[in-house]
Amino acid sequence: MKTINIDVNQIEVPPVKVRAGLQKSIKDKGVLVPILVTRKEDGGYVVLDGRRRVTAAREAGIELVPAILLEGGGPEVTILAHATRSENPISELCAIQEMVMQGMSEEEIAREGYTSIQRIRKLAKLNRLHPSLRKEVEEGKIAPGVAFQAARLPMEQQKRLLEAEKITGRAVREAQSARKQEALPDLAELIKQEPATFDEFIEQLSAGTLQQMLFDLPPDESRFDVWRHKLMQALAQLEVVRTTAHVLRF
């Protein structure tokens, strides 16, 4: 690694909102903390950490910014970038996903000591966020705690959240309450019918859904072992059916 001065026009950075305090500081004193970049194959640089500093420098008319250049690639580069961006859960999630794409398992990432498996699995829940909400979390417009709450909502409720002037914990709780109220009229009618058993229910689920349910179960709580076993049985049965269908086609 080495620190160099880079022309801001050579740095690829997505649009972000910059706080007024940061804008004033960079306009008055320049960029004091180096950004983190890596080289693009076709020239220029990609910013790994410091998007707001780059944006503020451009708006202030500053041409050169100090940067730590990460040479090479692979998991090590991603891990280092992740370590500097962990204050944003979406950035953290993206870094973990990059590590997985580069061949690292959850266990390997945790073994390196950069985060825990529990944290990895918690971050994975943010994949359920509506793309617009996800973008606002990444830009720092939605607090991390609120993001995890919003990710539990159905997609339709998440879309309604986007209508709020500001997405706060209170707005999410109101959406959760509205969801429960909407479900109440149907519940009275449903309980008149004979409900499906748990086994009948999981037989209707896809392999991807079953795997996600397994993924979401607390890994260290034995009281979920029975349900974990049932889900694994259902997955195994789906695999038998898929293999049989494949053989019959040939």
pLDDT average, residue stretch 85-114: 74
- pLDDT of 247 reads 38
Residues 144-157 as b or e (16 or more Cβ within 10 Å = b): bebbbbbbebeeeb
Report the chain's terminal Cα–Cα distance, integer Å: 55
- pLDDT of 59 reads 92
Q: What is the pLDDT of residues 35-71, one digit of tens each?
A: 888 888 778 888 877 888 899 999 999 999 998 887 7
Name the nearest CA neighbour of 93 among 109, 107, 108: 109
Q: What is the CATH code of the structural domain delimited by 2-72?
A: 3.90.1530.10
Q: What is the pLDDT of residues 177-213, one digit of tens each?
A: 776 666 555 555 655 667 777 778 777 888 888 888 8
Q: What is the pLDDT of residues 1-39, one digit of tens each?
A: 567 899 999 998 877 778 787 888 889 889 888 888 888
Could you write out the DSSP letters of every residue in 137-203? HHTTSS-HHHHHHHTTS-HHHHHHHTTSSS--HHHHHHHHHHHHHHHHHHHHHHTTSPPPPHHHHHH
Weakest-pLDDT range from 84-88, 113-117, 118-122, 241-245: 241-245
Sorted by where each begins, the domain ranges of the chain are 2-72, 75-128, 131-195, 198-249
Which pTM does this prediction carry? 0.47
Answer yes or no: is pLDDT of 248 > 50: no
Bridge partners of 2, per DSSP, are: 69
pLDDT average, residue stretch 233-243: 71
- pLDDT of 73 reads 55
pLDDT average, residue stretch 77-104: 68
Weakest-pLDDT range from 82-91, 149-158, 205-214, 228-237: 82-91
